[in-house]
Structures are given as structure tokens and as C-alpha cells.
Structure 1
Amino acid sequence: MFYTIKNLVFEGGGVLGIAYLGVLDFLTQCGILQKVNRVAGASAGAITACITSFNLPFEELKEIADSLDYRKIPEKEEHPDLKNIPGPVKKEWEKVFGDLDCTYRLITDYGWYSSQYFYHWIQEQISYQFDKSKKLPPYTFADFKDPGIHKGNRPFLDLYVIGTDISSRMSKVFSYETTPNMEVAEAVRISMSIPLFFEAIKVTDYEINRHPLLNIFSDGGVTRNYPINLFDAINIQEQFLYGVNAQTLGARFRSEIKYTEITSFLGFITNLVLTFLQVQQDMYRNSPADAARSIEIYTNDISAVDFNISPNDQTYRFLYQQGYAAANNYFKSRNYLI
């Protein structure tokens, strides 16, 4: 028996998130996406959840997704603290330390790469959805709930973004219910900030931290990479089956595990993070209840942090097609009548 899908949940997975476009394409063609009320995700899944929450036709959603230049995401931006160091001095330092800006960022901001490019991109995509004559950016979760300030008064889907509060050692859900006055772009940036790979995000907002001190936030995937159980709370008035919300559908990845030679500190960081994600994948795959409501996308041996990708290249097309095929197979195997 199939219940109407009301909630969509996306696992984190870096560039593998391109496959979600194929999933959304299929769900749109079947009329399933149009009935969804809530979207949630961690890391790359949070990016997909955010642009899906705009409640746009699929063609427009895909156009937004394809405007993201993956090659620019791991950004070696000049660190503000080092702007006044003369070029020749910097070059001498880099003979010893390697990339000085990245090394300094790792020490002071706890991540090798800057995420400024992505932050500005997601801010821009969000800004396009609002009528600026009614409210100027930045836009918060409360603004996402107010169709009166959206272009065409279009209602958005309820959005839930997962982050990791390093200071408090816990997972954090950013949403209209929990953090109404938080900038959505900042929440998504936090969620995609792979620890040590991207700079951590420092937050002093009392509403978010629940105290006046500074908190350090990082990738939501560290603690909750696949928040499939987010809508299993008993206060949600939906159909439950065997203790879980039968109206929640998730999408996650299944990748080939292969040996990777580690020859650099950055390579160590990358493999450490991918290990965290693999452990969580195994945990959810071993849960029959979660497996039954999850579209599993086979991604071969493509690395989640291989940002050398662009729309319609071979890797992009493969991931897109895998997402579409996985969604199709999921519903076919359950005799869902479309």
C-alpha cells in the first residue's frame, strides 16, 4: 500500500547530489513532487532541499541547480588577515607551508577551503525568489513561510536543514519552528561545510545558540547525514506504519568502496570525512524500516568531493541518469501505479 508522499529527505554526498535532479525529474513526471509539503537534507542534500522548497516547475529548479559552478566551490580565497603581506614574502612562506592562505585558514577557521563562492551563490538563488519591493535580503526561515513576500505570492515547501554544532557536540535542525530568524543561506552553508575541508562557520546568534557565546558549526552530515527519521515525531498528523512515517520518502547513495592511497594532509581529511559518511550509510542500510522508504542511488566509484564536474559532462549525465533510474526502479518494484 502506498500513502501520498508528504515529506522528502535527501542524504548528504557532495557532488553526488547531482543525482537528485534525476530523482526529482521522475517524481515530477509522476505527479508525486507536486504533493510534497516538507523537504529536509544534510550537506548536499540540504542544497537540494533548499532549491526544491522554492516550489518551482522542475525545469526552473534544474536551471538553478545547473548554475552552480562546482569547480569554484572549493575556493582558495585570499584570507583577509593576510592581505597586507607582500607577495615575495608570501612566496617564501609558501615554500615551507604550501598554500599560505589555506594553511592559515585551517589554523584559524578550521578548514582548508573557503565556502564564500557557494554562500554568495545560494544567497543569490534565494534572493531571486523574493519580491524585493516588499523585503530586501537576507531572507530567513520566517520569510520562507510568508508567501506574501515571494514572487507571485508562491508558497514554499517547509524546509529543514541539518547542521552540526561542534561547540555543543550535537546535531542541529534549522527550520521555521526552531530558528525562524536565521538566514536560510547561512544554514545551508553550515550544512555543506565539510569539516576541515571547508572553513567552519562561527555563529554568535542567541536564537541559534541559546546562549550569548560563540558556537562553531560544521557539516550536518557529520552527525546526521541522512535525517530520514526527522518527520517520525508523534505530533505530525500523518500515516505511520511500524512506528515510522509512511508518508516520508528519502533518497540516498550507494557507492563502490575502493582503496585510496593517502599522500597528503588534504587527502587524509577527505578520506576521514568519507569514512564518517560510509559508516552512517551502513547504519541506515541495515534498518529495514528506513530501507523500505529510501530510493537508493548507485553512484559507482565517483568521489563525493570530486568537484571537477560541469552540467552535461559524462559524470553529470551518469549521476542524473542513475537518480532517475533509481526512482523509477523504486516505484516499479513496489507496483506503484503511475
Structure 2
Amino acid sequence: MSDFAIRNTGSIAQTWSKEMSGMKPPIIFGARTTTQQSVAQSKDAFKSYCEHNLSSLSKFVPAREMASFQGAAAAKFDKIVNATFDKVQAGTDGSFRKSEVHAALKTANTEAQAAIKELAQSFYGKTAMDWDKQVESASTFPKGDKVKVSSEAYGDAHRDFSRYVTARTDDMRALVPGAKLAQFEADIQEIRKQARETLRDAQAECRAQGGKMPASQFQATVREVHTAMLGRLIALSDRSTETDITPQVVKGASGGFTLIRKAPSLENLVLQGGGAKGVGNPPALLELGKLGVIGGLKHVVGTSAGALTAACLASGMSGTAFQALMDNTPMPSLADDLPNFGAIYPGMQFKDSSDVGRFDRFAISHAGGGKDFSAQKALAILDEQTSRSVGAFVDKNAQAISDAVGDGRITQQEADRLDVFKGLTAASFTQDRTNMMLTFNDLSILSKIKPETFKELTLTGFNKTDRQTEMFNRTTTPDMPVALAGRISMAIPVYFESVMHGGKEYVDGGVGSNVPSEAVKPTDTDRLVQQDAMAKTMVMVFDDNGKGFKTLHGRNLEVAPPTRKEVNDLGARVVRDASGADYLQTLSNDKVKTYASGPNVHVVFHGNVDTFDLNATAAQKSFAKEMATMKTLEQIQNKQNEAVEVELDSVAQALGFLSIAEKGAVVAQGEPQARHFAQADDYNAAKALYDGCRGELRS
């Protein structure tokens, strides 16, 4: 596995991906399973967990099928439990190897997945569409209004929704303290009421139209209900449940130690490139922002379409404002020329693709509807939007800027530089913009004044002249205009004209690295520093017809050689020929980086809008935004109370990772008792952590 990877453990139990039926297997932390008693406890714990999941599943089973379901389920899971755990054999000293017990648990989990799917198909998959299937069906872009549904479909949807809410809140209820339980139940009823009213209103409209409604409208209602429910369940969990965040240290199999703790707040955001697929970024970021997931960001990284998003976020634009900008900016206009461009942006030089082979020029032109677009408008939009965002702050916060000078955060010279953003009007952007555009250094200054609004920014471009990826940021190019770097990063070969800068030719940053997570990888080779950085980094990749999740949940992707399809792909060939980059290696590297980022990957859905779909219809864009919102909420819900593992050389190293609150939780739990541990190494590790936390809190 990459040394820059960290894997999720869930909230004391790992969260299976959706492909694994949604069960959460019990993972035994602390005690080493080396005795007959601990093996039996593992077996019982797994069996109890299976029974719990079957109980949740039974809510979806028709009453007439219940007896048969229960009998079949009991037989299947008894067979699984007995066959896996009973294969674990004791050694000559009567002890059991922990690895063998975990292998049995893993096998049992795998077989349980298949059993759940089989039971679901047998007992309710053929008789009624459950809510998950309703949502899955509604997640397909409608191809017309010929297909109709009857008013009864809304009643079925309400039934399935009700069962779904019951199943989700039953699991949540166990974490609600008694004092909050009454309000918790009231909130659940409100969730049910709001969904019921939405479905009944839609059903009434259906009946008013003769009892038939286009399936596309029914599916839109399902998406609306599901999205609203997700947001409310997330908020309900945040305010009602209490989870144990006490860190743990266990002895590792290789001689080191593993620290298990609550996932830290995110500080870095990496945005993948994807052309028009970027339509999904604003709604996804809006939800991530509203729910506080990205509230602590310090550094934003973007390439290609992600560069536009990253630049706007780093310059202080809110999620709502960014969504409005995208809604009001026709995507095709980004490719346009700008009147008087040479006078407004003297020195900016673009280059056409006349040196690229005729076939490659034709292929890109066919895919994108043209070639050698100047995209002068893209640069101008980036310039105006980032500058106006900064200008709005500078105009209203003279005192904050003065205070930053007074306490030494910035110099007077840096404060004076910000004066260029005062009093900006529309006319400001029709005049010579030399030395007036927002630079990477300007953003660094602003981030010192108000870090909750302004962020450090890194954008990428591919240096076609030298055939290498370059990073544009405060360190490498402090005085470079952000808009120029953004225009470079969006220069899709042949489709947009390339950019000449410093005597070099630059094209789209995605050519050399479309998932530039390396921008936040510390230069420090210390394993702990790198693990900490990765745990604080979210990588946003596009769904791309399921490829995003497939890469994330793939197997053995520490190395990902190009697939035959990628080798033969016309688009990949054209990009390679037109840029001079080893684009197949880029594709492989991007998959490895996505896989290595593990649970911190957020998949952005974009409907059926693809890279070159700048002329996507209003219906396509609306559907893409709905899907981005809904799928973002699903992922946020799945990652609530997320935990991370940190590999350590000693228990003492753990203390450097823990906050005061975490250390307090360790001490509050009380001194570990040897009798609670089957293995002395685990007791010693827990005791050392307790003693260390207690000592630091006393000092």
C-alpha cells in the first residue's frame, strides 16, 4: 500500500461500502483473541450482529412471507457462523492465533453479504420495490415522458419510505441518551410527516391528471423526498446521538502500535478535473459546507474544471454564491473570445493547435464541437469573480486589515497591496488589468487576515515544452495571477488554445495529474506526518459512470496499470499526442492516488453530463445538481462518526496526535484493568496511553 494512505475503521466498527449490503461487522479492538473464551465471544458477537441486521431487514418483508423468511435466514446464518468459526483450531498450548480468528470473521462477513442479497431477492425483491430500489430507479436520467406511473405508485413509495426510516432510526436510537429520546421520537415523526405530505401532494396531482403521471415526475418526487430525509437524518444524528470518541491503542501484528481515533477535521481539499462534469461541484460543496464538513479548510487544490472551483473557493466565495455564478454562466460562454482582450490583458498569449496532427485535431473537434477556442472569457470570468470576492471583503474590513498589521500577521506593504481591490466596478474590468489581478501571494495575505474565508491555493498546469506538471501557488509563483493559472489549468489540448507563459507552452493540468493530491503531500518523509496530512485531506473525484466508486473500492490498486480500454481509447490517444504527456501513466497514477485516499474520497455525481457537454440542456444540468446534492448527503451520512487508524512505532507517539479532549476521554474512562485483556501487550499499550494522557493533563 502507498505510504501516503490511511484506512478508515468506522465508529468502533468498519462501514461497509454500499456494494456490501450496508451491514457493519463488529471489529474487535483491545483484547487479542488468543483464548477459547475470546473466540466464542467473537462468534457470539458476530451472530448477534447478524441477528440485528436480519431484524432490520425483516421490516421490508411482507407479513405473509415472514415465517419462511425467518426460517431461511436462521438456517443460512447458523451455517455461516458454524462453518467459519468452527474451523479455527487451537495450538498446542490451547491458544488461538488472532489472524486466524480475523480470517474467520472476514470469511463470515463475505458469506453474510451473499446471504443478505439472496434473502432480499427471495422475500421482498420480487414482491415490492423497497426504498433503496426506488431511489436507484430515480437516479437514472429520464429519457422522456412516455412511461407513466399510476397514483398507486406514490402509496407504494410512502410505504417503502416508512420502512426505510424505521430501519435507519432503529440503529440510531441505541445511541440516543434518555434525556433526548422524547425529542428524538418527535423529530422522526416530523420527518415522516413532511415526506408523507410531499408524496400525497404529488399523488393528488397525479389523480387530477387522470391517474397517470410521467415516470420522470414520480422519480423527481422520490429524489426530493430522499434528499430532504437525508439532510434531516444527518442533523438528527448530530444533535441527538452520543458516540464514544475515546481513542484506543492496540499492539500491531508487525511489532508497532495502531492508534484508533476520531477522524480529524479536514484542512485540505483536492478537486479533480473533468470539464463540464464540474456542474456537480457547486451543489456538492454547498452541502459539505452547510453541514460543516469543510468548515476548517486551509488549502484548496484544483486542476482543469477543478481549478475554476478551487479558485473561487479560495478567494472567499461562499457555496451559495458559487452555485449562483455557475447557474448564471452559460458553460459554452467560457470558450468565447473577449472584446478588447489584448488591451485589457496585455502580455497574455495563447497558441493554437496547428502543430498537432490533423487526425487529433479532427477527433477533439468532433467530440467537443470545435477546436482552438480562445477561452478568453474563462480568464476574464475568473479574474472578475475572484477580484470582486476579495474586493467585497477589503471594502468592508479596513479595521481587520489594520489589526492584522498591528499584531504582525501581515506587513504594511502587504496591506497596501490589497488597496487595488477597493471600489471595484464593472468598468474596472474593461481597463488594463496589469498588476490589478488577484495573485497567489494576495490569497496568502488574506488567509492570514481571515483564514475561515480565504485559503491557500494550488493550481496545476502541464508544461508541454518541458513535458512536466507544474504547481502554481504562493511558493512557486507568488506573483502569478490566479486567473492566468486557472486558464492554463483548463486548457484542454486542441479544444482550448494553449497558454504561453515565461517562454513555455502550457496545457490542461489534468494531462499530467488529474487528481493532484501530491500537492498536499508533505515533503517530510516521516510516516506519521504523511498519515496525519492524508487524514486531513478530502479528494473530490467525479462519479464518471461508476468509475469513481469502482476505483475507490477496487482491489490491490497500489499499482494500477492501464486497462485495455484505456490503451485503445481514442480520447486518451489524442491527449497523449497533442500534449506530449504520458497520459496513460497519468490515468494509472490518478487511480492509485484515489484508492490511496481511501475514506476521504468524496465522489461527485454529475448525472449524464460528460467532459465536453458544455451545451448540456437545462434538464441535464438540473438532474446533475439534484444527483450531486442527494449523493453528497448519502456520503456524509455514511461517514458520520468516522474514525481513522494511525500506525505508530510507540505508544508515546500517540500523545502527539491527541487533542486535550481526547486525552481527557482516555483518563475519564478510568485506568485499564489487566483482567479485561486477554493479551498482556494490549493491556500494556492501554495502560501506557492512560498514564501518558494523565501525566500530560496534570502538567
Q: 1:298 to 1:31 in 2, by over 3 A?
A: closer
Amino acid at match of 2:265: T
Q: Does 1:160 align with 2:420?
A: no
- Match of 1:135? 420
Structure 2 residue matching 1:161: 3-state secondary structure: strand
> What is the CA–CA distance in structure 1 between the aligned matches of 2:303 and 2:373, rounded to whole Å?
19
Which runs of 5 or more residues in structure 1 are unaligned?
81-103, 205-213, 258-267
Aligned equivalents of 1:75, 1:253: Cα separation in 2: 26
TM-score (norm 2): 0.38
CA contact 1:8–1:250 (8 Å) conserved in 2: yes
Native 8 Å contact 2:608 2:624 kept in 1: no
Q: What does the per-residue CA deviation read over 1:68-126, in whole Å, with 9 as the maximum and x for residues that have no partner?
A: 22121233789x9xxxxxxxxxxxxxxxxxxxxxxx94327996211111111111112
1:324 to 2:625 alignment: no
Residues 3 and 239 in structure 1, CA contact (< 8 A), matched pair in contact too: no
| CA–CA distance in structure 2, aligned partners of residues 12 and 278 of structure 1 | 16
Contact 2:333 2:377 in 1 (8 A): yes
Instruction: Please give the residue correspondences for 1:195-214 in structure 2 after superposition, counting only pairs within 5 Å.
Output: 195-204=493-502, 214=503
**Over aligned residue pairs, what C-alpha RMSD do you find?**
3.8
- Do the aligned residues in 1 keep the contact of 2:607 with 2:627 (CA within 8 Å)? no
1:113, 1:284 → 2: CA distance?
27
Cα distance, 1:217–1:39 mapped onto 2, change above 3 Å = same
**Counting strand residues as a fraction of each chain, which structure ranks higher?**
1
1:183 is aligned, of 477, 481, 487, to 481
Question: 2:441 is paired with a residue of what secondary structure?
Answer: helix
Residue 510 of structure 2 aligns with an amino acid whose one-letter code is G
Is 1:112 aligned to residue 394 of structure 2?
no
Secondary structure (helix, strand or coil) at the match of 1:56 reads coil
1:232 aligned residue (498, 521, 530): 521
Q: How does 1:251-290 map onto structure 2 within 5 Å? A: 251-256=540-545, 272-273=574-575, 280=586, 283-286=589-592, 288-290=595-597
Pairwise CA distance, 1:319:
2.2
Q: Is the 8 A contact 1:256 1:299 kept in 2?
A: no
Match for residue 427 of structure 2? none
Between structures 1 and 2, the one with greater helix share: 2
Aligned-pair distance for 1:154?
Answer: 8.4
Ranges in structure 2 where 5+ consecutive residues have no aligned partner: 1-261, 342-350, 362-370, 396-417, 422-435, 547-569, 643-699
Closer, same or farther: CA 281–294 of 1 in aligned 2, 3 Å: farther
Q: TM-score, normalization: structure 1? A: 0.74
Q: How does 1:289-308 map to 2 (within 5 A)?
A: 289-299=596-606, 301-308=608-615
- Give yes or no for contact 1:240–1:246 (8 Å, CA) kept in 2: no
Displacement after TM superposition at 1:168 (Å): 1.2
AA matched with 1:327: T
Confirm or deny: 8 A CA contact 2:512 2:583 kept in the other structure. no
In structure 1, distance between residues paired with 2:592 and 2:583: 14
- Taking structure 1 as reference, are residues 283 and 332 closer, same or farther at Cα in structure 2, changes over 3 Å only? farther
Question: SS at the partner of 1:40?
Answer: strand
Query: Do the aligned residues in 2 keep the contact of 1:163 with 1:221 (CA within 8 Å)?
Result: yes
Separation (CA, whole Å) in 2 of partners of 1:315 and 1:274: 30
Q: Secondary structure at the match of 2:269?
A: strand
Answer whether contact 1:28 1:58 (CA < 8 A) is retained: yes
Structure 1, residues 250-292: CA drift from partner, whole Å, max 9, x if none? 11013239xxxxxxxxxx6698349998975665445532243
Tell me which amino acid in the other structure corresponds to 2:305: A
Matches within 5 A, 1:51-62: 51-62=312-323
1:22 aligns to what?
A: 283
Contact 1:74 1:115 in 2 (8 A): yes
Deviations 1:27-76 (A, max 9, x none): 11211222111100100001100111122332223223333221212337
The residue type paired with residue 172 of structure 1 is E
* 2:511 alignment partner in structure 1: 222
The reply on whether 1:309 has 2:616 as its aligned counterpart is yes
Query: Residue 216 of structure 1: SS of its match in structure 2?
Result: strand
1:147–1:153 contact (8 Å) kept in structure 2: yes
Is this contact kept in 2: 1:239–1:246, CA < 8 A?
no
**What is the percent sequence identity of the aligned residues?**
21
The answer to whether the aligner puts 1:193 opposite 2:491 as a matched pair is yes
User: Structure 1 residues 271 and 325 mapped into 2: Cα distance closer, same or farther (>3 Å)?
Assistant: farther
* CA–CA distance in structure 2, aligned partners of residues 63 and 184 of structure 1: 21
AA in 2 matched with 1:7: N
Greater relative contact order structure (CA < 8 Å, 6+ sep): 1
- d(CA) in 2 for partners of 1:309, 1:193: 20
Give the counterpart letter for 2:632 in structure 1.
Answer: A
Stretch deviating more after TM superposition (47-56 or 327-336): 327-336
Amino acid in structure 1 at the alignment position of 2:494 = L
- 1:217-236 Cα deviation digits (max 9, x unpaired): 11000001111232121459
**Amino acid across the alignment from 2:623:** F
Contact 1:244 1:289 in 2 (8 A): no
Asked if the contact 2:301–2:458 (Cα under 8 Å) also holds between the matched residues in 1, the reply is yes
Q: Distance in 2 between matches of 1:256 and 1:123?
A: 33
Q: Quick check: 1:146–1:155 contact (8 Å CA) kept in 2?
A: no
Aligned length: 293
Residue 23 of structure 1, CA deviation: 1.6
Is contact 1:163-1:187 (8 Å) kept? yes
Q: Report if aligned partners of 2:472, 2:485 keep a CA contact under 8 Å in 1.
A: yes
